[in-house]
């Protein structure tokens, strides 16, 4: 069963488990499981990497989907994440800006030095909540929503996310990326909706519990 945080006639807010697809249909799709669990069609409006977990919102009808998609385009759908990274950032908080190129043939994204065809700018801000000698817990807010953005921007600085073998991590286990905060205007009423959640279990139990600042 998928954990449902909020549901009405227009939206479903849920906690996506790691390992499920967030947009495609099929037996390993969150869309399929939500449709079976809640009844009726479910429409995706944003994505979350298959290996990541955490908060997502889905529409329950085409009108709500259009409203939420418009909020995404207008940057009124806000998302923040917890990431457990290798190493310690030089600054306790800061901003990262990069040019990212998505290589569809390799299924991978690369940070490149300058704009060219297929390259898009990526921006995020982060804050270090906790660190040990070899790892840090950061809270990340996205200004842009590029494919694998958080993973690539930290990895390109020598700080891959735990469990992210695709981008250089030597730590085995699940990808340490969790969508912890979600905010958007309700597609029907326009009322502000805000949700927060904390991750549990591995790899997050390596971090002191009081470090998760929501």
The string of pLDDT tens digits covering residues 166-203 is 999 999 999 999 999 999 999 999 999 999 999 998 88
Percent of the chain exceeding pLDDT 70 equals 98
Q: How far apart are CA 125 and CA 108, in angstroms?
A: 22
Which listed residue (10, 49, 98, 143) is catalytic? Answer: 49
Q: Is 130 exposed, middle or buried (0-12, 13-18, 19+ CB in 10 A)?
A: middle
Percent of the chain exceeding pLDDT 90 equals 84
**Cβ atoms within 10 Å, residue 206:** 15
Whole-number pLDDT of residue 8: 97
Token pair for 32: 């399929």
**Contact yes or no for 57/72 (Cβ under 8 A):** no
Assigned superfamily of 3-78+181-198: Pseudouridine synthase (3.30.2350.10)
Residue 213 annotated in active site:
no
| Every domain range in the chain assigned CATH 3.30.2350.10 | 3-78+181-198, 81-167
Rounded to the nearest 5 degrees, what angle is found at the Cα of 161, between the Cα atoms of 158 and 163?
A: 125
Assigned superfamily of 81-167: Pseudouridine synthase (3.30.2350.10)
The residues near 36 (Cβ < 8 Å, ≥ 6 apart) are none
Position 161 pLDDT exceeds 70: yes
Q: How far apart are CA 154 and CA 76, in angstroms?
A: 25
Position 114 pLDDT exceeds 90: no
Position 214 pLDDT exceeds 90: no
Q: Residue 137: which of 150, 126, 122 has the closest Cα?
A: 126
E strand residue ranges, 104-162 = 108-112, 119-131, 135-142
Token pair for 6: 């909020």
The model scores a pTM over 0.85 = yes
**β-bridge pairing 53-59 and 3-7:** unpaired
Position 99 pLDDT exceeds 70: yes
């Amino acid at each position: 069963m998928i954990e449902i945080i909020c549901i009405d006639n227009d939206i479903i807010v849920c906690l996506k488990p790691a390992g499920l697809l967030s947009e495609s249909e099929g037996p390993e799709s969150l869309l399929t499981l939500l449709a079976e669990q809640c009844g009726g069609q479910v429409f995706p409006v944003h994505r979350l990497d298959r290996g990541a977990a955490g908060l997502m919102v889905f529409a329950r009808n085409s009108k709500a989907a259009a409203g939420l998609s418009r909020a995404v385009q207008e940057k009124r759908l806000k998302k923040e994440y917890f990431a457990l990274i290798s190493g310690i950032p030089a600054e306790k908080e800061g901003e990262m800006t990069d040019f990212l190129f998505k290589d569809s043939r390799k299924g991978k994204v690369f940070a490149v030095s300058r704009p060219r065809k297929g390259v898009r700018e990526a921006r995020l801000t982060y804050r270090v909540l906790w660190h040990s000698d070899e790892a840090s817990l950061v809270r990340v807010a996205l200004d842009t929503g590029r494919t694998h953005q958080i993973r690539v921007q930290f990895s390109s600085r020598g700080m891959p996310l735990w469990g992210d073998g695709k981008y250089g991590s030597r730590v085995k286990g699940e990808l340490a990326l969790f969508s912890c905060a979600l905010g958007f205007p309700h597609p029907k009423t326009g009322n502000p909706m805000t949700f927060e959640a904390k991750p549990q279990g591995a790899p997050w139990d390596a971090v002191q519990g009081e470090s998760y600042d929501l």
